[in-house]
Structure 1
């Protein structure tokens, strides 16, 4: 059934009801078992609990369906839940949790009845605490207070004391550090199942019992069969960058210590041989205590009865210094050091040095201990692991997300006003450095960061091999993914296809897709794009003169999602199932959704355009906070933090009522639309919000969000030139476009921030012929030859940009209409290289001045070429075959900001 004109007109009203007929209803498909694979290509030795997403074809499964998992034909305990539904209510996405332990090969998820785990997770809710029980291990989580976890107990024996949030702040770079601790305001059970349980804690850090700041969210994940919790730690910087210099931030666990000092063990994972020492060493002494004693201590076992020890050593044990404090500092991505001291007030002794530590520390004894590990440890330097008071009755182990030994965070702006108080001067600066500067709009207040950790409560000191496996599983968590063929068959995320090298031209395109991902993975390492705030982002444009990326030149520095590298990498991960694209996209999602996005304050819900600092550009827009860049990761992993961020964006369109994106456009007139409205661009702004509303509709089935989308669609469809109008007055109360004119305003940035991909999904899900026609007109005419365009619309023709990237719009129109001539035009546009990266028939990478370069590379061009390539292969593969690929011709140029 299709929407009638009357239905469309009703949708334009602020209170329009959406008829059920507006939802497209294709024939039901059949649900088949979905094969999973470990993205690194090999079955890992250890996995710490697994959660992954699986997509299902529309109409294949009812909402009440149950799911089972198996490996090699043998059932695996699994816990499943629905994360999204199709418009007809059938299952679209499911999440599946598998218990911790030895990783299974050849895993399959299918409709069926799950089996229970042998050691299930159990949740016990009390008035003042939540207990997570896994076998005989119990984690006690207070409802509120200064501890995230009160204790970890095994059969009445305390293995761990309190887990707390700690840190310090300086009033100036050289001021004295003032300590603070985290205070939990609320703890709630988000999920309670036999395989996986989740407890969410929210609160604020408190400085000396007075000032509350740095809001945090911590989630604790428990998996069946595990002696650990996964910890997902998020915080938002709500301080003043001019006087709040964050000097340290970390998580600290108290560890009861038992036994003699020589039976107390300290371990650090180093990326090489384990650092394995005792509080009181028995090796290397002038007098040999005996091989059995030395071997036991090195292995982490209790030493034999002292009566059999060499008498001289036994009677001289009290003369051996005890080492109570140990520290592993990772100040850069390329070097760490380990030091130890006897106790506070005495000198530190250098113990070991190396390059990249995986980020795990352990302290304990043969009767119990605690290990704490931090993911992306060296990538997010300056980080540290610290053990204190190991010779006392209670030790501590701290994972420092920002080490107190490092200089404090400096989140101040990097530049002065330089006479740019007014818009005219700011626009002149933009024209030179490509940075959109404005005093006071370059603030870091409101940005955030999420970190992942693992916390173990252990019965005894693990073997070296076990600790190494734990460190590896935390540093690079093994990840299962549904096979790309199954995801493609489910018809999710728009137009993409599986890799296809069946013809010479397709092979050329596929090779460049692989080469381009490999190039960026190499650049992250070669250029050391690491650091607490930087990790996950890439640079915008290369400087061929200096043979570096333009890290210090305004808008050419950090990319901040400009022209959708997030989408490109995720689409490539979807179609290949390979780790390289996945890991780049995962780190980018963590970065751009947190650091490049504001989570409170006047810019809440908006992101920052590319710049020298991630927050330095004054252009605050939804094109960066864009839900389209997060939702693929959410559905593939069911990540709760990204789920929060997607939900936070639901009402962020309200921010544009006070943040005028177009305020600096020369000659712009004051907005004169209806009261309570403002001008909204169809893309990138509206489609960025649509991505959030679409995701919420899918996640909850709440048709209010569908209706909001459809009101906007109907408003665009009502305009004479539809999408080609580019912008119209927008009512944030209803999501409706109210008014608009009969002018064409083709703008090159409109559809390069997810609009193409989101529209492909909207048209698939919602049957509104008038909107589909408006989108197809836009797709057909944006790249149209000048003569054809003028014959249809008359003058002016107007400027065009990004012709190569926009070839996929032409391809979309060709596929929808079955127009072979249009498909061939798309191929010519794509292979032309106009305003893009260009296509090489061989790998263009070469070495210059000791570094590997890709000619004329920019992330704008790379991302748009990648997305165009993927969608061209999916939409018009035969036209790719018919095309003649010209000698490489890249006329890459930077589009001006609108």
Structure 2
């Protein structure tokens, strides 16, 4: 069988209607059977940071496979670089339509792995004893080898106990939530309440042999009130002495009454050692460590002896007390015992450490620094526990606290929101400014770009997911072990399939590997890197950090103030506007850069949680860009969009993101509760009738349905997409109608669709990218032609539009971003002239969102700015995302049409 040419593809469009090509080569030939495949490169998993980490506590990652390569029950094994077998756990993530594996997830246990692994078909090696899961009516018990963890099925404790060698070193791990009924700045009396976790559900999602996953759900309860739902997953890996913890907090309270003043994870640590053999550790910045004893033996007026001092400093058990210098031994009771310790990180730029002997006595300042890496330990020679809070300095106000270390039980807490910080105030930021009608709200939109509507800017229903880690330890770790623990917490190592290997599987749409073989290609690649580096730098320079903010970037820039427009309506936080998330993920796929991965990961965590409603009337919808992530009154599927989450899910097999996408399969039901077009002239639709756009609404929902079809093989999700496709194709103006009446029960559009309504945003939220994948696997000839027509004509010269439709299509905004639609049509039709037109559109100028290859960056310092910054006055995040996505798709589809110079 020969590979089809573009002329063949053009004939297929005319005769059969659909082709199925993906980036990197044909997936289906004319007869629908699998085309010949090139041999796959080795299926390797490599460290994204380029070198093995100092500490590996277990790894999970995803691997794609070409269609038809392996059946759904194929087994796999892993080999280290030296050929040694490595115990491997494998499970499917997604399937091709023929039932063959499309994505698999793989897990390996803790311990050194060298430079990477190679995955190949074959029976997995059993390896050393792995994770053991034991279930009973009362609890789930998980043993990783070094430690055993017990998860009760009800009560307040998420973890009842953790043992090492039969000795309990950690117990009663629970969640704590503290609130005030008014901000402290108000003059009214403030009432405080404390809520603790109550577990409702415990489920074993995986039970080994390499990896076990325990999922818990519940609420925070205090008195007769239970609120603030939580979802917590614990990940146990064979050989690990720690658990990875994913903590999701959902705010379902009242922003005007529920002011969170503390949110944390706390645990009890039994303390059995002598006070001078009890140790406290905080990791600082980089490899720094704060290390002290509860009762210090150093610095005293009388010397206990070098052996005692050296052992205490190292964290070892000191020699027997009868060997201690007599004056010190006699005066031990007069040395204060320090029971409470607090490392507080109120901002991204500084932390302090203080301690006190006990409540009721003064705190004593100890030390401080810049950006703490977020690990705290308390324990002694007979055992102890540590907790790590991920993104500790990036998501302030955070804190690590140890209480009662001089007593029988210490309390170890990681504060996601520190009690010593100002309260979490989520109220809307202004009083409405007199806007009471839709006409007044539209007037406000025209001045500040904010879509305001009274009571719609609510945080009720948003969430935040945070990664933590718990260690159960049989002794105080050596000082040089803590930097490795800090790195594991602050910059978790990642095994990942290589870009070349992912690309060879023909998955995730139209993208290519970087190519600098011509001057113009090199300029585009250089510009991509420049933009990525610019935004990475802006995060640091502009301090885009904080519990609710970390992971997002700003929308537009104010050149007069030399700041991003953080306080100007819809120009502030980006909230996925014009597919920034997708640009970052495709950029990572192409280059495999660790810094880009972590930026994209943080954005996925943020935009999928904070910018989306998970409970309440807006459930399933996301919030348009604004000063507050939840503040804008425009709630739409274009933000909750599964298209922005799925690449991360397939690369990492992350269960929480998998949940977020699955929650969206009925996302169109939200359109019955929220009339997105209510403020438009044609927004007053008949009761019970829903109007949905083909791009921002339906295509976003297609991302969830397509992903669920891949993940499960359930044909009803494919049928859901087909119902929409065929009904759009049946409309008189098809995609050019822009939107139509939509039936949530059937997924069918209806009406004449005889009016042209071409909007520049309809294909700006992942529609081109998901269509590349959908049309490769779902062959509906009429719809295929309808989409190709839209791709071909949207950016067509005005005269050609008039000749085709009798009128121009409109302003044709975002022409540069839409050049990728032209490129897709050119590729599908084998039309060289159309390919050349795509690049002309890409390099053209027309609206403010377009970028070129030469936007300059200027450095400002001194009195012009608060702190030194780099400014790119011509850059907007809208323009960056659309430029980047167009460059990626155009290079993948029509590289031969790219001019050799110019631009």
TM-score by length of 2: 0.94
Which residue is 1:18 aligned to?
A: none
Distance 1:744 1:571 in 2: 32
Q: Secondary structure at the match of 1:562?
A: coil
Which residue is 2:887 aligned to?
A: 869
Which residue is 2:84 aligned to?
A: 74
Q: Secondary structure at the match of 1:161?
A: strand
Displacement of 1:421: 0.7
Distance 1:5 1:522 in 2: 49
C-alpha spacing 1:704/1:4, structure 2 compared with 1 (3 Å): farther
Distance 1:130 1:25 in 2: 47
Q: Is the 8 A contact 1:78 1:98 kept in 2?
A: yes
Q: Is the 8 A contact 2:558 2:565 kept in 1?
A: yes
Alignment partner of 1:34 is 2:43: yes
Displacement of 1:855: 2.9
Distance 1:694 1:427 in 2: 35
Out of 682, 689, 697, the residue aligned to residue 701 of structure 2 is 689
Alignment partner of 1:224 is 2:238: yes
Q: How does 1:154-193 map to 2 (within 5 A)?
A: 154-174=164-184, 175-193=190-208
Distance 2:274 2:299 in 1: 19
C-alpha spacing 1:393/1:792, structure 2 compared with 1 (3 Å): same
Alignment partner of 1:777 is 2:789: yes
Which residue is 1:816 aligned to?
A: 828
Q: Is the 8 A contact 1:22 1:766 kept in 2?
A: no
Distance 1:324 1:452 in 2: 27
Displacement of 1:677: 3.8
Distance 2:752 2:617 in 1: 28
C-alpha spacing 1:359/1:485, structure 2 compared with 1 (3 Å): same
Which residue is 1:143 aligned to?
A: 153
List runs of 5+ in structure 1 lacking aligned partners: 9-20, 886-898
Q: Is the 8 A contact 1:815 1:876 kept in 2?
A: yes
Q: How does 1:697-776 map to 2 (within 5 A)?
A: 697-776=709-788
Of 24-33 and 859-868, deviating more is: 24-33
Displacement of 1:156: 2.3
Which residue is 2:352 aligned to?
A: 337
Q: Deviations over 1:129-181 (max 9, x none)?
A: 00001225211110111100000122321111110111211111131321110
Q: Which ranges of 4 or more aligned residues in structure 1 deviate by more than 6 Å?
A: 1-8
C-alpha spacing 1:555/1:293, structure 2 compared with 1 (3 Å): same
Out of 51, 62, 78, the residue aligned to residue 71 of structure 2 is 62
Aligned length, in residue pairs: 870
Q: Is the 8 A contact 2:146 2:239 kept in 1?
A: no
Alignment partner of 1:522 is 2:531: no
Alignment partner of 1:630 is 2:639: no
Alignment partner of 1:599 is 2:614: yes
Q: Is the 8 A contact 1:779 1:810 kept in 2?
A: yes
Which residue is 1:210 aligned to?
A: 224
Distance 1:231 1:700 in 2: 26
Which residue is 1:362 aligned to?
A: 377
RMSD: 2.0
Distance 1:353 1:330 in 2: 9
Out of 561, 578, 584, the residue aligned to residue 563 of structure 1 is 578
Q: Is the 8 A contact 2:13 2:829 kept in 1?
A: no
Q: Is the 8 A contact 1:287 1:313 kept in 2?
A: yes
Which residue is 1:121 aligned to?
A: 131
Distance 2:752 2:638 in 1: 22
Out of 107, 121, 133, the residue aligned to residue 111 of structure 1 is 121
Q: Is the 8 A contact 2:373 2:393 kept in 1?
A: yes
Displacement of 1:26: 2.9
Q: Is the 8 A contact 1:515 1:843 kept in 2?
A: no
Displacement of 1:662: 0.9
Q: Secondary structure at the match of 1:304?
A: coil
C-alpha spacing 1:5/1:484, structure 2 compared with 1 (3 Å): closer
Distance 1:236 1:435 in 2: 25
Displacement of 1:106: 3.0
TM-score by length of 1: 0.95
Out of 423, 432, 437, the residue aligned to residue 408 of structure 1 is 423
Which residue is 1:892 aligned to?
A: none
Distance 1:63 1:677 in 2: 42
Distance 1:527 1:764 in 2: 42
Out of 846, 866, 870, the residue aligned to residue 852 of structure 1 is 870
Of 851-860 and 527-536, deviating more is: 851-860
Distance 1:206 1:610 in 2: 33
Displacement of 1:103: 4.0
Displacement of 1:492: 0.9
Displacement of 1:248: 0.5
Distance 1:269 1:38 in 2: 24
Q: Deviations over 1:394-428 (max 9, x none)?
A: 11100000011111100100011111110000000
Q: Deviations over 1:300-337 (max 9, x none)?
A: 11001122211111111111000010000000000000
Q: Deviations over 1:501-560 (max 9, x none)?
A: 000000000000011000000000000000000000000001011100000000000000
Displacement of 1:480: 1.4
Distance 1:177 1:401 in 2: 18
Which residue is 2:112 aligned to?
A: 102
Distance 1:883 1:504 in 2: 7
